[in-house]
Amino acid sequence: MRPTSEYIEQVCEEIKALLLAKNKAYGDSAINPKRIFSKAAALEQIFVRIDDKLSRISTTGTSGGEGVTHEDTLMDLLGYLVLAKVAIKKAEDEKLPQGWSGYATTPMP
């Protein structure tokens, strides 16, 4: 029987691989969006994506919906939660102006 710590490491590595692959494929669009249509702060946009994933989980149950597995939705949700943390950390570390990430101006729900 594997210890829980090994499962934690495995899942964290899977999330890391997913986020790095998506960052390579799509660029840094979550943290530095192009702002073509929406002018919302990066963190606010991530929160909207988190809301979408939670809504999908609440409405589709364990199936995840047609063509989407529950596992995919959970991985996406975990990825967006990590990206939210990254946006907050980036704003703090780089002393970005208030409102850059949305963290300073948008309270957590």
Span 65-103, pLDDT tens digits: 566 677 888 899 999 999 999 988 888 888 776 555 544
Q: Flag whether 99 is in a domain.
A: no
Pair 34, 25: CB distance under 8 Å = no
Residue 98 located in a structural domain: no
Q: Quick check: is 106 in a domain?
A: no
Note down the domain range covering 85. Answer: 4-93
7-48 confidence digits (pLDDT tens): 999 999 999 999 999 999 999 988 888 888 988 888 889 999
| Domains: count for the chain | 1
pLDDT band at 106 (very low <50, low <70, confident <90, very high): very low
Task: Determine, yes or no, domain membership for 101.
Answer: no
CA distance 19 to 24: 9
> Which amino acid, 46?
I
